[in-house]
């Protein structure tokens, strides 16, 4: 037995030495960081300072709710519904009328509020029983509620209770979507909401094609509709890389300048790019996509509610293509609001945005000619 203890003791010595060495390395790095860490921290601080000197905001001051500031009247309406007053929302939706881009955007914001607390929407529905505006907000809010019940994690981390609530609520949303569509037959917004039902319930591709026909006859170049449909066609949901790119390229090619649909091929690339470097972002095809998107942004109505989303994508891909001066111009136009691709998928949305933006600022500064 004594011999066995001696053998075990001898074998334990190397393990103990290794453990002590790891502890020493950890403590050394903790209290005396390596020169590389010091250099990286210094460089990051200098880049952040350079961004601040340009009037760009630090991560803690970035708005993570929206891609851009909301129009003042929209902010006032959202404030009113938080206080229980639905009438300004009803008035504004009525005033927007057939501007389908703005109608769908505002309806989504109102629906998102209703998915959290809907007493104000219940009061609206009680007073105006067949109001198509209240109906479309209700339909959208039910779809949003379903996705909130599901949670943002992948299927393997979604509980049975979450999945059942998600499915049940999406099924109930279909009836509300049908009602909203019947009350305002020209409005594409209910059908746009149904895309997220199609995605969640797994409509077959042929059924999605029928749904898309309803939308495209009403609003053939609607940005939110195309963005939503592209998500359906992505490989991670109900399509594939091939189907997503075919949809994106076809939509971009058929759309007039200013519609912003040149964003779609960039989004399709972002959703399916698994490369570790920037080679895939610098192909002739990707260079052409970015050029097309720049022309599209320049031609768009400056007040288009989705224009900032394209600018965020442009800032990102211009940087990856080493066109940092052009990237910086886009960053200046969107800084302060970061809830957009490509930042949205990161837990540290504002931090990710600022790291890329500050890298661009530093690159532009370093490339500038020295003063005479």
For 160, the token pair is 């049975």
Beta pairing partners, 63: 337
pLDDT of residue 5: 43
What is the residue extent of each domain of the chain? Answer: 72-201
| Reported confidence tier of residue 41, pLDDT bands at 50, 70, 90 | confident
Q: How far lies 1's CA from each of 5, 11, 14, in Å? A: 6, 15, 22
278-292: average pLDDT: 98
What residues contact 325, with CB distance under 8 A and at least 6 apart? Answer: 364, 367
The rounded mean pLDDT for the chain is 90
What span, in angstroms and rounded, lies between the C-alpha atoms of 160 and 370? 62
Cβ–Cβ contacts within 10 Å for residue 135, how many? 24
pLDDT in tens, 2-15: 544 444 444 454 55
In the beta sheet, which residues pair with residue 249?
Answer: none
pLDDT at position 292:
98
pLDDT digit string (tens) for 208-240? 999 999 999 999 999 999 999 999 999 999 999
Distance CA 113, CA 148 (A): 12
Give the distance between the most distant pair of CA atoms in the chain: 92
The predicted structure's pLDDT at residue 25: 46
């Amino acid at each position: 037995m004594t011999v066995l203890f001696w053998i075990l003791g001898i074998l334990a010595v190397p393990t103990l030495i290794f453990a002590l060495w790891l502890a020493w390395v950890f403590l050394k790095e903790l209290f005396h960081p390596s020169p590389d860490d010091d250099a990286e921290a210094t460089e990051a601080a200098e880049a952040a300072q350079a961004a601040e000197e340009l009037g760009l905001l630090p991560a803690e001051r970035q708005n993570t709710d929206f891609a851009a500031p909301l129009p003042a009247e929209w902010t006032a309406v959202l404030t009113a519904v938080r206080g229980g007053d639905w009438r300004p929302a009803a008035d504004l939706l009525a005033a927007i009328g057939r501007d389908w881009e703005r109608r769908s955007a505002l309806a989504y914001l109102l629906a998102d509020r209703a998915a959290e607390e809907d007493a104000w929407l219940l009061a609206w529905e009680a007073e105006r029983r067949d109001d198509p505006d209240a109906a479309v907000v209700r339909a959208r809010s039910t779809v949003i509620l379903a996705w909130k019940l599901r949670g943002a994690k992948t299927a393997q981390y979604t509980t049975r209770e979450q999945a059942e609530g998600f499915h049940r609520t999406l099924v109930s949303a279909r009836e509300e979507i049908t009602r909203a569509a019947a009350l305002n037959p020209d409005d594409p917004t209910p059908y746009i909401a149904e895309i997220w039902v199609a995605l969640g319930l797994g409509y077959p591709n042929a059924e999605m094609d029928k749904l898309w026909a309803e939308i495209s006859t009403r609003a053939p170049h609607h940005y939110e509709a195309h963005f939503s449909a592209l998500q359906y066609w992505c490989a991670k949901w109900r399509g594939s890389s091939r189907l997503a790119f075919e949809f994106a390229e076809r939509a971009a090619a058929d759309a007039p300048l200013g519609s912003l649909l040149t964003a779609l091929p960039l989004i399709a690339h972002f959703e399916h790019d698994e490369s570790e470097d920037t080679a895939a972002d610098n192909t002739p095809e990707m260079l052409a996509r970015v050029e097309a998107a720049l022309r599209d942004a320049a031609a768009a109505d400056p007040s288009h509610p989705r224009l900032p989303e394209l600018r965020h994508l442009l800032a990102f891909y211009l940087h990856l293509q080493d066109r940092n001066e052009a990237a910086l111009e886009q960053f200046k136009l969107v800084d302060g609001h970061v809830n957009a691709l490509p930042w949205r998928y990161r837990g540290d949305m504002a931090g990710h945005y600022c790291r890329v933006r500050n890298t661009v600022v530093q690159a532009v500064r370093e490339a500038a000619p020295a003063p005479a």
